[in-house]
Amino acid sequence: MIESIQQHKMAATPAPRAANTGPKAFAQEKLARMTLEEKVLLLTGQDLWRTNAIPRLGISRMKTSDGPVGVRGGIFTDGVKTASAPTGVSLAATWDREVIEEVCEVLVTEARSKEVDLVLGPTVCIPRTPLGGRNFEAYSEDPFLTGKLAATFINSLQRKGIGACIKHFVANDQETRRFFIDEKIPDRALREIHLQPFQIAIRDSDPWAVMTAYNKVNGTFCSAHDFLLQQVLRKEWRWDGLVMSDWFGTNSIAPSVNAGLDLEMPGPVRRRGQHLLEAHHRGLVKASAIDACVLRVLELLYKTGKSEIADWQEGQEKAIDLPEHRAILRKAGADGIVLLKNSDSLLPLQNLNGKRIAVIGPNAVRYVGSGGGSSNLEPHYRTTPYQSLKTEILNKYPDADIQMRQGILTHRYLPLLESSVMKNPVTGQSGFILSFWRNMTHSGEPFKVEHRPSSNLVCYDGLPPELTTGERYSYRGRCIVTPKTSGVHQFSLSSCGPGKLYLDGKLLVNIERRWWSQKSPLFMSYGSPEERVDVEMEAGRDYELLLESVSREPKPYELTYTGELEREEVQDGGRIGFLEYPGDLDKLLQDAVDLARASDVAIVVVGKDHEWESETSDMVSMSLPGRSDELITAVTQVNPNTIVVNQTGSPITMAWESKSSAIVQAWYQGQEQGNCLSDVLLGNVNPSGKLPITFPRRIEDTPPYDNYPGDNDVVYYGEGIYAGYRFYDHRKIDPLFPFGFGLSYTSFTYSNIRLSSDVLACDDTGFNEIEVQVDVTNTGRCEGKEIVQFYVSQVSAPRLSRPVRELKGWDKVSVAPGETVTARATLDRVSISYWNDSVQKWVIDGDAKFRVSAAKHSRDGGLDAYFTSVAKVEWVH
């Protein structure tokens, strides 16, 4: 296997370039030979993931792929398997640059195995509300932590020749009405909170590409935002890479090109092409604007190594599952797990021989590796908490008794058909046979027939090329369903276009409406709500299940060359759900409680999943789904040794917090989720993760509560610069668990904070830096890692209001029992500056006094040291 990877790397490596070439020289030479039509062709994608090629000039295609938690490849649904890494918030919870570097080693190999040139990540938008459906992808509520980790991610990919596309520029922090919402963001909040993670990452890493957000900012779509793209990104920050749209997120023709949106994705062409040519002929887009965009596309092509490949022919994607990759992802996942509570040192679990351990909960026996949406993928393999815990416990303690009860159901939609109950009637494989017709009536012979392994029959990137140009079509999906049990089972259907679901020829569901405006998380697009039906079925009997549907009628829109265009949707397909009769739900819960009562330890694994926490829809509350809280409360009442494991990417309410002996925030850990958890619970790994987001007690305490999600497609960022922990400090609200909080199986004390200088001298000619150091002593019995956080406060009265304290550095140190090590961080002018909107510059007050605190979390007083600035300084970049 290793040899095959090396062969692939050699095959993908271009020949050495001549010494006098470079991206700009290459781009200028190609541009000089291009026709206007060829230039315009280069400014839009060829298909869902690839750019256009111009073989006449030796200009190759490039291939992109999501993303932040793994490199999916070129198929969105049911694609080639790939490594599934911990999600962004879990990686941020490690506060460990080395962990991110190691994870990126895996992503680089996966990108090469899928022949991907540009990875669509990292996601660095600041999670504004705990209800954000896409929070799990992002790193942190703090812009400094986010920007620094993103820079590490980007550098780790790009130094190995794989491009990174930082996203979504800017403030794509809610899924509710994300294609239409106008975010009214005050200038200081825009600069200090929402733009700053991009600014830090771009300054420290120079990503090859930036992806624009769907939303508007202060009245203008980000895909055509001249101020953000030209004034800030290119002029102030002096960044000259490629800007691409989010998928189907180009909202104009002329304005997007004039603002510097270089690449419309995906293809085939929608907004540009002939429309852009016409706009140019009408004088609405200058040739110089088109050329500028083309140059940046060509420069990216050069950076990917494709400039030496005249006619790139894509090979077959490969699934490369390596033991060293498994080890990296297992370590990364465990290092991100946060121990929130550990009364009476219940954890780590030890001396379990002869003990009964109950593993309870809806997430105990299922794989919950990620939230939903574009970052989701098909992992190399799946682990579950129960199976991993059972294996590890019995390996260590063969006389232990470990049992499981599900307790409750928490699905938002009916689950997809399990592979064990369905089969393709032609091939006998688990799955469906899917047939396409180039007409709307399923008439004649299908022009394409293929096997699909799941009942999520999405016609998105799996369409035959003949059907990607807007031609309408019809399709049928057919399989044999053999239930395992007898009883009243449930089927469900959701579809993008009209669809009918039959069982043995009987019509179960008929969806007739054209879904133009109903947003469906099931499709990341517009589609019908899920319709369910009860069906009496017999165990072991074969039933024919048939979905018959047609593609959606395209939504008409009024063409304008200079104004905003309505969003187009091209996704089609149907999703079929199936749930066998679960029995008495009250008894299901009671069985779990009875097991907990009879056990020495109860581990309750709860949380959300890719249905509840997903791109395209925000969450309805901070509560856990279904009867989760009831289950936890009932178990804690009968077993004092209850460990609650929560798998979410966002904070949840915990009415049962005081009753639980231990609480573990496990996030979404990808393919190693079960193994990561067992490592921490059994003490193979000492937990070192700390929260990169605040856990509030209730939704009413959160910064945007009075303003989210907005009215009439307008949302006001009323919290201003007081985002995340800044808000709780400012309002003196005690969170449930503060930003930066996390426990260990050992204990640490801090001492001897010191500064390399008590003056941070900044003036028009230059500035110095201050190193802050603090000693950390392990006062416990086992080795552990401590994340020392350095917060800066302006003690003297600032000209403008400022947060109580702001994170400006951290250091993660490993300390043996009884050992003392030094944690350190560097403070510079960015550490003490703020944005003054009256002068539109970053400002340091002259003769100001500052405090730096070495703390364990944002609400910890810590140890303090003081320094001063000298002269007043203003700057832009």
* Residues acting as catalytic residues: 246
Question: Which neighbouring-strand residues pair with 849?
Answer: 868
Instruction: Specify burial of residue 559 (Cβ count, 10 A radius: 0-12, 13-18, 19+).
Output: exposed
Q: On the CB side of 24, how many CA atoms lie within 13 Å of its CA? A: 3
Which residue's entry shows tokens 């010191």? 754
Comparing C-alpha atoms, which of 728, 831, 794 is closest to residue 148? 831
Residues 6+ apart with CB under 8 A from 323: none
Structure-token match 């800066």, residue found:
792
- In the DSSP assignment, the letter for residue 57 is G
Apex CA 147: angle with CA 790 and CA 66, to 5°? Answer: 140
Nearest to 690 by CA among 126, 201, 89: 89
DSSP result, 853-874 = EEESSTT---EEEEEEE-S-EE
Spell out the residues 6+ positions from residue 838 whose beta carbon is closer than 8 angstroms to its own.
none
**Do β-strands 242-244 and 209-212 pair in parallel, antiparallel, or remain unpaired?**
parallel
Distance CA 366, CA 247 (A): 31
Would strands 784-794 and 849-855 be described as parallel, antiparallel, or unpaired? antiparallel
Residue identified by tokens 């005249």 is: 310
Report residue 170 as tokens: 């800017």
Neighbours of 692 (CB within 10 A): 29
Main-chain dihedrals φ then ψ at residue 203, nearest 5 degrees: -65, -40
Give the span between the Cα atoms of 659 and 642, in whole angstroms.
Answer: 9
* Peptide bond before residue 122 is cis, with ω within 30 degrees of 0: yes
The Cβ of residue 351 has, within 10 Å, a number of other Cβ atoms equal to 9
**200 CB-near residues (< 8 Å, 6+ apart):** 143, 144, 146, 147, 148, 150, 151
Query: Distance between alpha carbon 795 and the CA centroid of its chain, in Å?
Result: 37
Residue 238 and residue 84: Cα distance in Å, rounded? 35
Which residues is 867 bridged to in the sheet?
850
Taking CA 160 as the corner, what is the angle to CA 158 and CA 161, rounded to the nearest 5 degrees?
65
Q: Are strands 759-760 and 770-778 parallel, antiparallel or unpaired?
A: unpaired
The CA–CA distances, whole Å, from 90 to 324, 435, 614 equal 20, 41, 16
For the record, the structure tokens of 797 come out as 């009265």
